Amino acid sequence: MHSRHITIILFAALLLGTSAFGVGIEIGKPAPNFSLEDVSGKAHMLKDYAGKYVVLEWVNFDCPFVKKHYDSGNMQMLQKKYTEQDVIWLSINSSAPGKQGNFSSEEIIKRSLEYKAAPTAYLVDDKGRVGKWYGAKTTPHMFIIDPEGNVIYAGGIDDKKSVNVEDVLVSKNYVSAALDEVLAGKEVSINFTKSYGCSVKY
């Protein structure tokens, strides 16, 4: 893989101090900008997506909780459904080299194809800077950012803290609920939940 140039742009003198989710992340407050490369080496900056809703999904394909959502097709379905509605979906992997979930570009491409994953981009954060900055604790851990660049949802993907694929059908999906609400011009009714999953392998 190309050497990954990671630049984190600190708008965030504004945002110093700890919060519920990590350094600088608070519901209703600006999301920290960042720049991360995808598997082809292309840099993606959060601010490039200003004016659109952005979903950040922390991912580790070997985590059983992530597998639950990919084996069931749930995550891919959400990615496809919302990117078709002009939502930007960024899957971010913060696993450090040598740790679970840190893959070569070839492996990421292979697995993404196998899963028919459909995010806008799969970004590599192998130094964990963006993950720690956002306070990403688990895989999956989900964040939604509005067109003005504010965090409008942080937390779990749904309310069933299990690894059972069957639970996907009977769970309340918080990300889908929040996106449906904002795309219909409404406020997000549940904007902060407890994420669940494997710890991010920083």
Q: Does 99 bind other proteins (CB under 8 A)?
A: yes
* Residues 177-196 as x/- pattern, contact with other proteins by CB under 8 A: ---------------xxx-x
Q: Min. distance of Cβ 82 from other proteins in angstroms?
A: 25
Residue 140 binds other proteins, judged by CB under 8 A: no
Q: Indicate whether 115 belongs to the interface with other proteins (CB under 8 A).
A: no
Answer yes or no: are the C-beta atoms of 138 and 119 closer than 8 Å.
no
* Dihedral of the alpha carbons of 40, 43, 46, 50, in degrees to the nearest 10: -100
Here's the x/- map for other proteins, 41-80, by CB under 8 A: it reads as: ---------------------xxxx---------------
Site for other proteins contains 172 (CB under 8 A) = no
d(CA 102, CA 86): 29
CB 136 within 8 A of CB 156: no
* Residue from the set 8, 137, 177, 181 that interacts with other proteins by CB under 8 A: 137
Rounded to 5°, the CA angle 192-198-202 comes to: 95
Q: Is 197 in the site for other proteins (CB under 8 A)?
A: yes
Q: What does the DSSP 8-state code read for residue 135?
A: T
Give least dist CB 100 to other proteins, A.
4
CA dihedral for 115, 120, 122, 127, sign (positive or negative): negative
> Judged by CB under 8 A, which of 47, 116, 161, 186 binds other proteins?
161
CB of 167 to other proteins, least distance (A): 11
Verify binding: residue 111, other proteins, rule CB under 8 A: no
Residue 162 is a binding residue for other proteins (CB under 8 A): yes
* 69 CA to centre of own chain: 13
Residue with tokens 């604790």: 137
Length of the chain: 202
State the number of binding residues for other proteins (CB under 8 A).
31
- Give the C-alpha separation, 86 to 88, whole Å: 6
Q: Which amino acid is at 170?
A: V
Binding site for other proteins (CB under 8 A): 18-22, 26-27, 62-65, 99-100, 128, 132, 135, 137-138, 161-163, 192-194, 196-202
